[in-house]
Amino acid sequence: MNGAWAKPVANGWEIRVKAVPGSSRSRIAGVLGDRIKVQVAAAPEDGKANRAVAEVLAAWLGIAKSEVELVAGASQPAKVFRIPSRQELPPLP
């Protein structure tokens, strides 16, 4: 089931994320408004948190982290990631 946090686009999906760096563990923590909340242990410096969020999304989707592309919000908590085409997204953990 896809919520307001996921939007189909040409050749894939855009996933809206609220990133929470510096958490005790890395995980998808649920839905927060029109985004999914992704907590990561990485610090928000030098793109470490962005890469960690991409890794969490890739693990959930069962794809390579290289297939998860940050398209908006590189220096903001509110981010948009693009993933390659698929029929439907899996349920959130």
Which residues span the domain enclosing 58? 6-84
Over its C-alpha atoms, the chain yields an Rg (Å, rounded) of: 12
Tell me, yes or no, whether 59 lies in a domain: yes
Q: What is the mean pLDDT of residues 11-17?
A: 94
Is residue 89 assigned to a domain? no
Residue 90 in any domain: the answer is no
Tell me, yes or no, whether 92 lies in a domain.
no
Count up the domains in the chain and report the number: 1
Would you say residue 17 has pLDDT above 80? yes
CATH of the domain at 80: 3.30.1200.10
Note whether 19 and 79 are within 8 A (CB).
yes
How many Cβ atoms from other residues are within 10 Å of residue 33's Cβ?
12
| Residue matched to tokens 């085409």 | 85
Q: How much is the pLDDT for 86?
A: 74
* pLDDT for position 13: 94
Give 92's DSSP letter.
P
